[in-house]
Structure formats: structure tokens, C-alpha cells
Structure 1
Amino acid sequence: MDGVSELYSDYEHDFTALTVALQAKLRDLSSGTVVGDQWKTVLRAAERELDEADELLASMDNELHALAPPTRAKLQPEFRKYKAELDRLHKEFKKLSSSPSAREALLGPAGAPAKFDNATAAMDQRARLLQGTDRLQQTGDRLTSAHRIALETEQTGIETLQELRRQREQLERARHTLHNVDSNVDRAGQTLRTMARRLATNKLITAAIVLMLVFLIIMVLVLKFR
């Protein structure tokens, strides 16, 4: 969609992929395909993914408010769907985590002493560390992407200002040229008016000379035949 920031698109892509994985885990938990320690591991992984989905949705919300109003208005219905879907997943997780299957997986069968599997705990801790490292890496990548976008935006702004400056200089040169043309037209008009006045004066002088010659010829003829 036009106008959507690259950062928002990244958040949206990560959120969609995460919810798909989370739905698969919840289906496994509710279908009974995983049991015992594996059930507990999947439940904790689902809990971590829910936390990460909450963070992604909050980041999407922050980025959404930074977009232009027309773009934000187009994205808000889809964002509300994401929020409703995450709320549904939270409710499903809460229901599963409070079920008898969850209590049996976490505490052991009723009436039996609780067992603590050191290997499972170590694997779970390692998974948490890896998950945290991945999230830090993703956050760093997003910050790098945001910084790059900011630099590109700044460069685009500089280029736009330079182009506007060039256009302004061109307009000023064009205005100066038009001013010179206008001045030349005024001078040409004045020259033409002066020439017209001189031409009229010459015509009057010529007419006066002709009349004078005619008068002199008439006088000579009169004196000759008297």
C-alpha cells in the first residue's frame, strides 16, 4: 500500500508470521498431540510468542500514529483485526494454561510428587536466551532500517531544496530577462515615435517647399506676360 513506511511493513510481516506459528502451537496444545514435558515446552514457547506479539503490535501502533492521516485511516481497520486476533489468542492461551492438562504437565499427575527435569529446564532457559538474542537482533535490524530510511528522507529533502533553489534562480533570471525585454520594447517604442514625428515634420517642410516653388513659378509667369 502506498504511503506505508518500510518499518511498519516489517512489523506487520513479523506479526503475521508470529501469529501463524502461535496458532499452530495452540492447536497442538489443545489437540493432545503433545504430552508431558513436550507439552510444557510448547506452552512456554507459546507464552513467549504471545509476549513478542504484544511488543510487535505496540510497535505497529506507534508507527501507525506516525503515518500520514489518509494512510493511517486506511490501515486502522486491518490493525483492529490484528488486535482482535491477538486478544483471541490470549484468551485461548489462558484457557489452555488453566486446564487440567496444563496443571498435570506443569505439576505432574494428581497425587504424585512434582518432578523437576534439569535437562528440560536447561533447554528451556537456552531457548529463552536464543529467543532474546533473536529479538535483540530483530530490534537492531529495525533500528538500522529506520536510520537508513531517515537518512534517505534527509537526502531527498536536501535534493528537493537544491532543486527548488535552482528553479528559483531560473525564475529570477527569466524575470530579469523579461524586465530587459520590456525596457528594450519601451526604448524601441520611443524611437519609433521620434521617427514618426520627424517624418511628419519632413513631410510638412517638403509640402511648404513645393508650395513655395509653385507660388514662385506663378509669379514669374504673371510678370512675364504682363
Structure 2
Amino acid sequence: MASAAMEEFEHQFASISAEITTKINKIPQLTGNEKKQLSSSAERQIDEARELLEQMDLEVRTIPSSDRQKYSTRLRSYEAELTRLEKDLRKAKIAFRDGDASREELLGIDDPRNSEDQRARLLDNTERLERSGKKLEAGYRMTIETGTFARFYKKDVTSASTIGEHVLAEELGQGILENLHKDREKIQRSRARLRETDAGVGQSSRVLSGMMR
């Protein structure tokens, strides 16, 4: 039988997910500070939902094995739901109001929303690279903190096996640093493309505003 804590976590997640969905549906119809404020509120709730999933994961580990698989499956479905909400929020933040889209179509102006999917993909890639970089940095720090490298310097490095281990440790550290450098370059390129996309959308919006005056 599931613990009372697990049931409470599931109830909270369902409630937060419903609130996030409501806000996501409203965001495209807003502009300016109202849109920013509601987007920020939805982002905070997504963070809360992610923390709930982490607590659920810990709780599932304590559930008897007879019920654990069932709740593990439910947890994966919650994780998939949160991922979907994150993507929907990113799209909502760069979406335009229906009225604006209609005016653009009547005026024959290219719809800036054509770049929404591209921008969303860039955001996904950038965030994924940042998460990967953080994991690599954490792994590198853990390697240092646990004394992996230090142990090799304390050993008798005259033996062939110890020298080999020392070389492998150095290669591991060098590989981590090289991966971090490559990821930073990828993130910088993604951000540059994202700025170009934003600039294009902004230019289209200014043209539309000028024609509507």
C-alpha cells in the first residue's frame, strides 16, 4: 500500500499541474508586464512540481517491492507530463495573440510565429547543454573532492600499474575539461542563434506596428 506521503505528493502535483495548464493557456493572450508576470509565476510552479517529483522518487524507493513498480510507472508519467508543460510554457511565452495573427495575415506580413518552433528547439538545446555541463562539472568536483587524483600522488608511482592508474586519472580529468569547453561553445552558439531569432521577430513586430498606425 502506498504511503500517506506519496498520496499527498500526487495530490499536490495534480493541483499544481492544473494551475500551470491554466496559466499556459492565458499567457499567449497577454502582452507586456502581464505576460512576463504570469510566465514567471508558471515557471515557479514548474520548479515546485519538479521538487515534488524528486520527493516522490525518494518516497517510491521506500515503498514495498510489491507496489513499487506500479508507483514507479506513475512517477514516469508525471515526469513526462512536467516535460510537456515545460515545452508548452516556452511556446506560450513567445506566442502572439490571435488578433495580432489575424491582422498580420490580412496585411500579408510573414507571421513571426513561424520562428516559434525554431526558438523552442534552441531553448531546449541550450537548456539541455547547460544541464549536461552542470553534471560534468559536478562529476569533476566529486572526483577532486573524493581524492581520486590525490590518492595516485600518495602511492609509489614506480610500479607500472600505479603509473598506469595515474595516467588514466589524468586523462579522465582532461576529458571532462575538454567536454566542458565544447559544451560552453555550443551554448554560446545556441544563444547567438536565439538572439538572431528574437531580433527577427522584433523587426517583424515593429513593421506591423508601423503599418497599423
Q: Tell me if both proteins adopt one fold, taking TM over 0.5 as the criterion.
A: no
TM-score range, shorter chain: 0.3 to 0.5
TM-score, normalised to structure 1, is: 0.41
